[in-house]
Amino acid sequence: MSPLATKRLSNAAALSDAELLLAIAEGELGPLGILFDRYHEPLRQFLLRAAPNVADVDDLVQETFLTATRAAASFDGRASALPFLMGIATQLLRRRKRTFVRLRALYDAFCAAPTASRQSPEEHVNQAQEEALLQAAIARLSDERRIVLVMVEYNGMSGPEVAQILGTPVGTVWRRLHEARAELRRTLQRGGR
Amino acid sequence: MNLVEALRDGRLGPQEGASMERHLKSCAVCAGLARDLTRIGDAVRAPRERATQLSHQRARVSLLERATALPTPRVSFGKARFVLAAATLGIAGAFGFFGGQWTATTSRVALALHMSVPPRLQSASEPQVRPSDDARFTRNRSAGLDEVILEDGALDVARSRLAAGERFVVRTKDAQIEVRATALRIEAKEGRIRSVAVEQGTAEVQYAGFTAVIPAGGSWRATGDAAVEAADKEKSAAIPAPEPTSSAVVPSAPAKGKTSSRAAAVRGSRGMSDPSSDTPNENVMEESSWTGTPPSAPTFAPPPPVRVPSAASRAFADAMASLRRGNYADCADKFEQFVSTYPADARADEADYLRAVALQRAGRTAEAVAAAKRYLATRPKGAHRADAERMAGN
């Protein structure tokens, strides 16, 4: 390792995300650990919400960071690398979905999915059950709608930021967000409030 | 519902927002909508299980191991598909063999086994090397290193992404080209490098003690002329250059990491802007046009398709460069300018927060606190609210 790199690593914790990713792009792996420490939990929390049907969220988090090492050179230098990592995670989710969609359909045909029990109006009054219904409804949203919803409601991102991460027009972001909320509102209304 | 949503998402102006809030107090239907939106938001934000410190450390170690591990022979996706198809045929055959007596449970187990195979998201691809008719070269492959020694002729190299720990290097007697590109052409004559032209990705050329990164669309050419080289030596001796054997490369930003301090980087539209550089990318490319370079020097032809960053991107990069150089007062001014000039830019949130950071680092604590408070007041959904609150002393 060059003296410059050693010096840089000695105070790596003080480096900005852009500097860390630049070092990673140059082949250093020490900064990857720093980046992981910074964004492991935020990214994991994002994926737990954006991909509730994915069993191996921790594996997806690791894949995201591994992919980030290869894509580090394309980081645009902004202050936080979280949107960059979220963009990678979203692409991995899409790819994983494409890869498994056919097998999943076949698998589902053999394994009967557990059906939600019909609940009485009295049960619906219970707030915990309503919460469970809402969470189930969020899990049933399409990935596109759910990811936008999570980015806006959980990560507090603006429409233009989400559009930049997903590579879609801002109008598409607002539409997906509106559709997601409308779908969830219908669940709330069916739940009897 | 749209206006209620717009209010929640901060898409209404101050007047519209105030008007809508007044309306919500008097309209039960819209107030109900707003409550539903709040409940939906609360459901999304409902706490999820956090990783423990131990699991975090395990994941960290595992990640670094995976990142440093040399690529192991893995079944390619194509082979995986073949295996999957064969297994499917086997299952179908078994169905026929048992005359349909196979129970659904057995099928579930077999399918579940297939489902348990982790997906191959990245396939390590083999670099494709197409030599010209007159090319003479040797290729050695060892663990993680694919090395081509080029004697004569041209090689067209096409490869997809590098796996972790993989390297692909082309060497001549006088140069080494680290291929990070997905498509490029390298020419040599009598063991000496002649040119490198990159179509996609990047390539790093180490030649005569210098390192240059060639971006997508860029090319590099070495011209050998002993007489001019001598003149070049004289010229370079007049310039405080540490390497008298070669005229220099592009006077761009100081390189970092493994690139030596005298290395020069030419970064194009696909490359990452060097954070410590004052010069935007397009200016670097302009400097690389070599108007005053002696003919013996390695020359760079600027790539024709250069994406010019927007004024906002340049302003943001400029402010970031000041931050990294430690010019915090200058940086704070630039971020302030950025926020006021491009309030709708996606990076305005970062800029506003980083202004407070820069002021704090400049020792202007009172101003930093004021900046953090302004951030909290003007950005109710800002991404850095937690940090800003700490900075503001809340």
- Spans of all domains in chain B: 2-44, 74-121, 128-301, 311-392
- d(C-alpha A50, C-alpha A96), whole Å: 14
Per-residue tokens: B82 = 């073949």
Residue A85 pLDDT: 93
Is pLDDT at A177 greater than 90 in this prediction? yes
Query: Which tens digit of pLDDT belongs to each residue from B221-259?
Result: 775 544 334 444 444 444 343 333 333 333 333 333 333
Mean pLDDT on B356-372: 88
For residue A136, list chain B residues with Cβ-Cβ distance below 8 A. Answer: none
Mean pLDDT on A42-70: 87
Residue B315 pLDDT: 87
The fold of the B311-392 domain, in CATH, is 1.25.40
Residue A64 pLDDT: 92
Q: Does residue A64 contact residue A43 with C-beta atoms inside 8 Å?
A: yes
Angle at B193 between CA B270 and CA B214, to 5 degrees: 10
Q: Which of A77-86, B95-104, B107-116 has maximum average pLDDT? A: A77-86
The alpha carbon of residue A185 is apart from the nearest alpha carbon of chain B, in Å, by 7
Of A67, A91, A71, A64, nearest to A168 by C-alpha is A91
Is pLDDT at B205 greater than 60 in this prediction? yes
Residue A8 pLDDT: 55
Residue A145 pLDDT: 93
Is pLDDT at A58 greater than 80 in this prediction? yes
| Average pLDDT score over chain B | 68
Helical pair B53-68 and A30-50, crossing angle rounded to 10 deg = 120
Per-residue tokens: B290 = 């070599």
Residue A39 pLDDT: 92
Mean pLDDT on B63-82: 58
* Least confident among A22-36, A69-83, B51-65, B230-244: B230-244
Query: For strand B145-158 and strand B167-171, is the pairing parallel, antiparallel, or unpaired?
Result: parallel
Residue A12 pLDDT: 60
Residue B218 pLDDT: 75
Residue A88 pLDDT: 92
Query: Using CB atoms, which residue from B162, B273, B313 is nearest to A70?
Result: B162
- d(C-alpha A106, C-alpha A122), whole Å: 37
Residue B309 pLDDT: 64
Any A CB within 8 A of B206 CB: no
| Phi then psi dihedrals of residue B243, to 5 deg | -120, 95
Per-residue tokens: B191 = 């063991």
* Least confident among A107-111, B88-92, B278-282: B278-282
Any B CB within 8 A of A106 CB: yes
Residue A122 pLDDT: 60
- Name the DSSP class of A47: H
Angle at A96 between CA A93 and CA A98, to 5 degrees: 110
Any B CB within 8 A of A44 CB: yes
Name the pLDDT band for A169 (thresholds 50, 70, 90).
very high
* Least confident among A96-100, A141-145, B61-65: A96-100
The alpha carbon of residue B135 is apart from the nearest alpha carbon of chain A, in Å, by 31
Residue B310 pLDDT: 75
Query: Using CB atoms, which residue from B104, B317, B381 is nearest to A110?
Result: B104
Q: Which of A24-33, B29-38, B217-226, B378-387 has maximum average pLDDT? A: B29-38
Residue A114 pLDDT: 46
CA distances from A19 to A28, A44, A101, B179 (A): 11, 23, 38, 22
For residue B43, list chain A residues with Cβ-Cβ distance below 8 A. Answer: 131, 134-135, 138, 184
- d(C-alpha B381, C-alpha B297), whole Å: 54
Is pLDDT at B31 greater than 80 in this prediction? yes
Is pLDDT at B22 greater than 70 in this prediction? yes
- d(C-alpha B248, C-alpha B209), whole Å: 9
Q: Which residues pair with B221 in a beta bridge?
A: B195, B299
Domain ranges of chain A: 12-113, 115-193
Any B CB within 8 A of A162 CB: no
Name the pLDDT band for A183 (thresholds 50, 70, 90).
very high
Per-residue tokens: B109 = 């187990």
- Name the DSSP class of B303: P
* Torsion angle of C-alpha atoms A100, A102, A105, A110, degrees rounded to 10: -100
Q: Amino acid identity, residue B13?
A: G
* Torsion angle of C-alpha atoms A178, A181, A187, A189, degrees rounded to 10: -80
CA distances from A186 to A137, A138, A180, B1, B214 (A): 10, 12, 10, 13, 55
Contacts of A6 (CB under 8 A, 6+ apart): none
Name the pLDDT band for B299 (thresholds 50, 70, 90).
very low
- Is the complex ipTM higher than 0.90? no
Is pLDDT at B93 greater than 50 in this prediction? yes
Query: Using CB atoms, which residue from A18, A44, A49 is nearest to B44?
Result: A49
Of B312, B38, B321, nearest to A160 by C-alpha is B312
Residues in chain A: 193
Residue A176 pLDDT: 94
CA-based R_g, chain B, Å: 29
Query: Which tens digit of pLDDT belongs to each residue from A71-125?
Result: 888 888 778 899 999 999 998 888 876 665 555 555 555 554 444 445 555 654 5
Query: For strand B219-221 and strand B192-207, is the pairing parallel, antiparallel, or unpaired?
Result: antiparallel
Class of domain A115-193: mainly alpha
Residue B308 pLDDT: 55
Mean pLDDT on A172-177: 93
Q: pLDDT exceeding 90 applies to what percent of chain B?
A: 3
* pTM, entire model: 0.42
Class of domain A12-113: mainly alpha
Strand locations in chain B (E) = 128-131, 136-142, 145-158, 167-171, 175-189, 192-207, 210-214, 219-221, 299-301
**Disruptive mutation site among B256, B261, B266 for chain A (greatest number of A CBs within 10 Å):** B256
Any B CB within 8 A of A156 CB: yes
HSE-CB at B67 with a 13 A cutoff on CA atoms is 25
Residue B10 pLDDT: 82
Higher pLDDT, B96 or A143: A143
Of B264, B329, B332, nearest to B300 by C-alpha is B264
